[in-house]
Amino acid sequence: MRQPRIKLEGQAAWYHCYNRTAGTKNDRPFGSVEKEQFVRILHRICVLYTVDVIAYQVMSNHYHLVVRTPAELPAPEEVCRRYKDFHDGKRTLKPGSKACRQWQARCRDISWFMRHLQQLFTCWFNRTRKIRRRGALWAGRFKHTLLESGLAVWRCWAYIENNPVRAGMVRRVADYRFCSHGMWCQSGNHPFADKVMQHALPMLTHLFNFKSLDELKVWMEVVLLEKPGAEQEPSGFTTDVGRRVRHWTDGLVIGSRIFLSEVMSSYKPAATMARHRVAVSPDPADGGLCAWRRVRESIAG
């Protein structure tokens, strides 16, 4: 049975979104061409939606995004402009129309954004195979973790950027061009610099006193130099970017204990709370950062 998505309404929210292709863990359907196309489609749908992408990572069989959804609905005029630009002027909306009102709500909705992204990429992928394929490309609907603004976003951002290093594909994230940090290092410009300047930099300035994107880039590189840890996953929640940590992908909410309690109490009735557990990062620098994740049946039993 599908569980309702945990989404904050009426306020800005940060999410870590991710999905994996169907098949075995050894299937690697995405090469350089597919990864480049995924990034192109990601940029394209940002024309239509007001969801702000801060970071992305495209691997051989999965992807990660760190995004922010705004609190406010876009104005009708902005919706019509975005809709027209997205369709290259071939389709339009009339301000105040029913369709315009529908797209006002959709433009800031993370579910519509992610579904559109995956559908466009799947259509392109199926159409461009040597042997035409049909059917689903993804293993299921996308997953997401709600992140509290601040340290949770920063730690998650660094974690997903370091994916190709943990996988042994490159020695430095800067050498991998299918992620936002790698593209930043190789081109000299962050692919979503305006959104980072608008939303991420003020948040990180409050945490670390960053004054510019250059300072942020230098500090990110320092964090990403952490050496990969043991192959075995740690038993508890850790923000070490060098180790695979299941909480970043299985977690429902990550942030302070107060944030977790406020969010989860509004989504999970008391009867189901026992099937979830809270893990606290042991690193004092994380200030008690917590991950709330669902207990798997094999573990719980």
DSSP, residue by residue, 222-240: HHHTSPP--SSPPSS----
Question: What is the per-residue pLDDT for 66?
Answer: 98
Q: Grade residue 1 by pLDDT with cuts at 50, 70 and 90.
A: low
The answer, yes or no, to whether residue 111 has pLDDT greater than 90, is: yes
Q: What residue segments make up the domains of the chain, in order of their start? A: 13-72+108-300
φ and ψ of 56, to 5 deg? -145, 155
How far is residue 144's CA from residue 128's CA, in Å, rounded to a whole number?
A: 28
Contacts of 214 (CB under 8 A, 6+ apart): none
Could you tell me where the beta strands, DSSP code E, fall in 197-295? Answer: 251-255, 276-280, 290-294
The answer, yes or no, to whether residue 299 has pLDDT greater than 70, is: no
pLDDT in tens, 72-106: 999 999 999 999 999 999 999 999 999 999 999 99
Q: Which residue has the higher pLDDT, 89 or 230?
A: 89
Best CA proximity match to 68, nearest among 177, 202, 165, 207 = 202
Question: What is the per-residue pLDDT for 8?
Answer: 87
Question: What is the per-residue pLDDT for 267?
Answer: 78
Q: Grade residue 71 by pLDDT with cuts at 50, 70 and 90.
A: very high
The answer, yes or no, to whether residue 112 has pLDDT greater than 70, is: yes
Q: Grade residue 22 by pLDDT with cuts at 50, 70 and 90.
A: very high
- Among the listed ranges 58-62, 154-158, 201-205, 280-284, which one has the minimum average pLDDT value? 280-284
Neighbours of 113 (CB within 10 A): 26
Question: What is the per-residue pLDDT for 270?
Answer: 56
Q: Which residue has the higher pLDDT, 239 or 166?
A: 166
Best CA proximity match to 154, nearest among 28, 38, 296, 16 = 16
- 122 secondary structure, DSSP code: H
Question: What is the per-residue pLDDT for 141?
Answer: 92
Task: Specify which residues 147 forms β-bridges with.
Answer: 14, 254
The answer, yes or no, to whether residue 118 has pLDDT greater than 60, is: yes
CATH number for domain 13-72+108-300, candidates 3.20.20.70, 3.40.50.620, 2.40.50.320, 3.30.70.1290 = 3.30.70.1290
Q: Which residue has the higher pLDDT, 243 or 235?
A: 243
pTM of the model: 0.92
φ and ψ of 293, to 5 deg? -130, 155
How far is residue 190's CA from residue 53's CA, in Å, rounded to a whole number?
A: 11
- Among the listed ranges 35-44, 67-76, 272-281, which one has the minimum average pLDDT value? 272-281
pLDDT in tens, 146-183: 999 999 999 999 999 999 999 999 999 999 999 999 99
Best CA proximity match to 148, nearest among 269, 35, 13 = 13
Question: What is the per-residue pLDDT for 275?
Answer: 59
Distance of CA 239 to the CA centre of its chain: 16
The answer, yes or no, to whether residue 124 has pLDDT greater than 70, is: yes
Spatial contact of 75 and 92, defined as CB atoms under 8 Å apart: no
Q: Which residue has the higher pLDDT, 37 or 294?
A: 37
The answer, yes or no, to whether residue 223 has pLDDT greater than 90, is: no
Query: What average pLDDT is seen over the chain?
Result: 89
pLDDT in tens, 271-287: 455 556 888 888 888 88
Average pLDDT over residues 4-24: 92
Beta 52-58 vs 251-255: how paired, if at all? Answer: unpaired
Average pLDDT over residues 199-208: 92
Give kind and range of the element (H or E) at residue 13.
Answer: strand 13-20
